Structure 1
Amino acid sequence: MERIEIDTARGKERVPPGQYLVGDRWPILTYGSTPRFNPEVWDFAMSGLVENPLRFTWEEWNELPTVEVKADMHCVTSWSKLDNVWRGVSARHLLDLAQPKPEAKFFAVHCDGGYTTNAPVEELYEEDALFATHHNGEPLEPGHGYPLRLVIPRLYAWKSAKWIRGVEFIPEDRPGFWEQNGYHAYGDPWQEQRYSFGF
Structure 2
Amino acid sequence: MERIEIDTARGKERVPPGQYLVGDRWPVLTYGATPEVDLRSWDFSVSGLVENPLRLTWEEWEELPTVEVKADMHCVTSWSKLDNLWGGVQAKRVLELARPKPEARYVSVFCDGGYTTNLPLEELYEEDALFATHHDGEPLTPDHGWPLRLVVPRLYAWKSAKWVRGLELLAEDRPGFWEQNGYHNYGDPWREQRYSFSL
Secondary structure of 2:40 counterpart: coil
Aligned match of 1:181 = 181
Deviations 1:63-98 (A, max 9, x none): 111000000000000000000000000111111111
Separation of aligned partners in 2, 1:133 and 1:45: 16
Alignment of 1:38-117 (within 5 A): 38-117=38-117
Separation of aligned partners in 2, 1:63 and 1:175: 32
Separation of aligned partners in 1, 2:62 and 2:143: 21
Aligned match of 1:125 = 125
Separation of aligned partners in 2, 1:188 and 1:125: 17
User: What do you get for the CA RMSD once the two structures are aligned?
Assistant: 0.7
Identity %: 80
Aligned match of 2:141 = 141
Aligned match of 2:37 = 37
Unaligned runs of 5+ in 2: none
Shift of 1:197: 2.6
Separation of aligned partners in 1, 2:173 and 2:92: 20
Secondary structure of 2:76 counterpart: coil
Separation of aligned partners in 2, 1:139 and 1:8: 24
Deviations 1:26-77 (A, max 9, x none): 0000000000010111000011000111111011111111000000000000
Aligned match of 2:26 = 26
Unaligned runs of 5+ in 1: none
Deviations 1:101-159 (A, max 9, x none): 11110000000000000010000000000000000000001000000000000000000
Separation of aligned partners in 2, 1:194 and 1:51: 35
Structure 1's consecutive aligned runs of 4 or more residues displaced over 6 angstroms after TM superposition are: none
Aligned match of 1:163 = 163
Shift of 1:189: 0.1
TM-score, normalization by structure 2: 0.98
Separation of aligned partners in 2, 1:30 and 1:57: 25
